[in-house]
Structure 1
């Protein structure tokens, strides 16, 4: 528990620095004073300061205390103010095909896909559960799941969701093959080809692929790295365009890792209710929030059935299980009908395996362990960026999960870096994939810091930093 305390305190200090409570060069409260204020031990506060120092946000001065780093601006991320664009079609990208074709190849150092760490996966327990289920009922592979999913899994999810403030009946939970499938069901239910959907930008590129497949137009709403989707701009957009649905990730978004406050979530819900537009809540990374207890979803505030809540175990347990779910709102019968047409229920064995794992109450212990590891690896990632990358770059400050968004000077093309890095056996995700406007984030890229920082991965970060610096110097000269 003490470890959780100092990590939680470190996150609070980071938030205060990023929100401007403490500015570059300003002295922080002494270890003794902060310990008294927070009712913590001196060793806990000291450890928290050391973690923030490792992240590069503060520096210790001999016999003087801790100060906010003088070059703090190089490690801050705040998207520029943008105006929402007009609805646009999503066009296919051969770059996505190239990325996905190489994402599973073992000869690459993978920084690209948003996959959980292999060394902290629940593989052993999942395997034991799967073997036990097969031993107890060897005919299980011949049994089809119920249309809306395994009753046992829906019971376990209903219990877990109650702890998040979501009172969902087992009849209102639909099992899918993941968040993406759940969102597709929602979109097929509420939209028709040519309709407009509002999404936060930068947006997870697989969501944009959904829009392309369903022939939907997209209007992108800027996301701020510390407060989430720009609600005033969203409100303006909903007044100007006939938007049929809104997709957001209010807690630990992808790729910025941002989280909305409870007040902002309520404002978003109020707006959705006023406009009578369904809100599709992507909660894929939320269980990995560094903030504890875990922030409640928008769905927990929903009293009118306007929020369609989508979750998955792909980011927390294993992507191979292909198990996700949806808490349905109004018109659930229409969603179930679409579900029956698409036939995207995950294998029954996988559903029972996840249900068994959740019933053993091992999930929460696994999550707590994963959060600690990801926080430590995040601090290491930022330290490596600070050490090896040029000073004129910016990085996100994720509130959870395991992806980091890196913004380069606008004259540097991150897609060029992607192809050059691929030649070196390094795979990153270029920023142009995260918007319908491919030039919008052409100077950005996303990396995954979930895996251990082995010598090879550290060398890869060093190579990326040196190559980016060469590109920067060439442009300047």
Structure 2
């Protein structure tokens, strides 16, 4: 056996014996040279092979760490492959859960946003201050739909870096991604139309469907592989579906990213049936690893994909600036925006255009991804310690959500109310489906700095679940 293979076997045995736990840092290359007596080239080769096999992960300017152990959930045994909901009624419950997260005393495991301390707030405030001092009366008109020209040009250039040709004229700047998604849905549907969604799905899709009086056709979505394309194809044959709302990268809540081939197949299937794809892609910059995943829009041939995103999850939430690359629907979306919110804040658009012009954005994104990966690993390890046997945590290489399955007898809506009494929030499975299949699931936000408060809250959460398993009653339902 070659020397590098001996070192590989040794480190694999150490990881298997839990000498090194997931998320822990391994000896550096030079430290390993001293420990093993092998050459630097041999140690580098061994580490590269271990990384390619998924045993360890490299972090720029930090070193090598034990990779999280993959644990993929499956769909619930009782999961309906396709579920038709004639009338969605979930907005009230979602509102209550999101309102609870606003309390600063709450440990925000149920929050939808990352820790704002991860964002470059000083640099953004400098950009906002700079544009505020030079703001002219004409800027209000110049930033009406479709939005600031410099910002749209920068976005078009970022699409081009991925090989996607999008004209600045096809891009409409919006008040965050939710307005982009709302306007996109309005542009391609009428009340009473059928819309295909994932199951489970981002609760925002359910809210829009409820508001626009649409009918939801929910398609089974596997936590590892994503939407079931065979079932989607059958649904397209059965119902006159007008649009499909999907998250193809870092799906919320389960975290999966569709493969390149599956994205290509999805777009081809929808174009075959003349169905618009509303692509919610707000987490695509939060990937772990070397290459940013392509959006489904990269594979369109008929201008069928309305690609929606924002800066809220990766740069600044408070500015509320998003966009939609709407192709042939751009003019329709501009008219709809003028009839609703009129336009996105001119100072915020100008400030973002100014900040993106400094070329600090990609450096910030690299640091953000590194921090989120580290915090996600810490949260996963803590939950593994504190959650009872039978709990499963879905693995995903990106984002900041963990999708957690509890034993079938646990209702996470009840757990939500119990945890809230202890100033802990979670996002119960009820938020992500119009049915009851995910009553024993919840989404966990891992983006916050892991400290004593977070650890104590995770421990308390585990104890509450243990109490529920023991059959204690008397809590709010």
TM-score normalised by length of structure 2:
0.84
Name the stretch that deviates more: 452-461 or 321-330.
321-330
Q: Give 1:192's aligned residue.
A: 190
Aligned-pair CA distance for 1:330: 2.8
1:89 and 1:436 in contact (8 A); partners too: no
The 5-angstrom pairing of residues 248-263 of structure 1 reads 248-263=246-261
Residue 128 of structure 2 corresponds to residue 124 of structure 1: no
Q: Compared with structure 1, are the counterparts of its residues 331 and 101 closer, same or farther at alpha carbon in structure 2 (3 Å cutoff)?
A: closer
Deviation string, structure 1 residues 428-470 (Cα, Å, up to 9, x no partner): 1111011111x22111111110010010011000000111122
Name the stretch that deviates more: 331-340 or 416-425.
331-340
Q: Give 1:203's aligned residue.
A: 201
Q: Compared with structure 1, are the counterparts of its residues 427 and 37 closer, same or farther at alpha carbon in structure 2 (3 Å cutoff)?
A: farther
Aligned-pair CA distance for 1:381: 1.2
Residue 330 of structure 1 aligns to a residue in which SS? helix
Q: Compared with structure 1, are the counterparts of its residues 93 and 295 closer, same or farther at alpha carbon in structure 2 (3 Å cutoff)?
A: closer
The 5-angstrom pairing of residues 357-372 of structure 1 reads 357-372=355-370
Aligned-pair CA distance for 1:218: 0.5
Q: Give 1:441's aligned residue.
A: 438
Q: Compared with structure 1, are the counterparts of its residues 408 and 103 closer, same or farther at alpha carbon in structure 2 (3 Å cutoff)?
A: same
Measure, in 2, the Cα distance between the counterparts of 1:132 and 1:55: 43
TM-score normalised by length of structure 1:
0.84
Residue 318 of structure 2 corresponds to residue 320 of structure 1: yes
Aligned-pair CA distance for 1:358: 1.5
Measure, in 2, the Cα distance between the counterparts of 1:157 and 1:469: 48
2:142 and 2:148 in contact (8 A); partners too: no
1:107 and 1:425 in contact (8 A); partners too: yes
Of 372, 381, 385, the match for 1:383 = 381
Measure, in 1, the Cα distance between the counterparts of 2:300 and 2:252: 23
Q: Give 1:27's aligned residue.
A: none
Residue 407 of structure 2 aligns to a residue in which SS? coil
Aligned-pair CA distance for 1:401: 0.9
Aligned-pair CA distance for 1:169: 0.9
Residue 377 of structure 1 aligns to a residue in which SS? helix
Aligned-pair CA distance for 1:37: 13
Q: Give 1:224's aligned residue.
A: 222
Measure, in 2, the Cα distance between the counterparts of 1:92 and 1:187: 18
1:54 and 1:380 in contact (8 A); partners too: no
Measure, in 1, the Cα distance between the counterparts of 2:182 and 2:332: 13
Q: Give 1:286's aligned residue.
A: 284
Q: Give 2:73's aligned residue.
A: 77
Q: Give 2:9's aligned residue.
A: none
Deviation string, structure 1 residues 156-205 (Cα, Å, up to 9, x no partner): 11111111222111111110112211111111111111111000111111
Residue 107 of structure 2 corresponds to residue 109 of structure 1: yes
Q: Give 1:453's aligned residue.
A: 450
Q: Give 1:472's aligned residue.
A: 469
Residue 346 of structure 1 aligns to a residue in which SS? coil
Residue 262 of structure 2 aligns to a residue in which SS? helix
1:266 and 1:301 in contact (8 A); partners too: yes
Deviation string, structure 1 residues 77-116 (Cα, Å, up to 9, x no partner): 1223632012431113532222122221112111112212
Q: Give 1:62's aligned residue.
A: none
1:176 and 1:344 in contact (8 A); partners too: no
Give the root-mean-square deviation of aligned CA atoms. Answer: 2.6
Q: Compared with structure 1, are the counterparts of its residues 259 and 139 closer, same or farther at alpha carbon in structure 2 (3 Å cutoff)?
A: same
Q: Any stretches of 5+ residues in structure 1 without a counterpart? A: 1-12, 18-30, 58-71
Aligned-pair CA distance for 1:332: 3.1
Q: Give 1:397's aligned residue.
A: 395
Of 289, 297, 310, the match for 2:295 = 297
2:249 and 2:283 in contact (8 A); partners too: yes
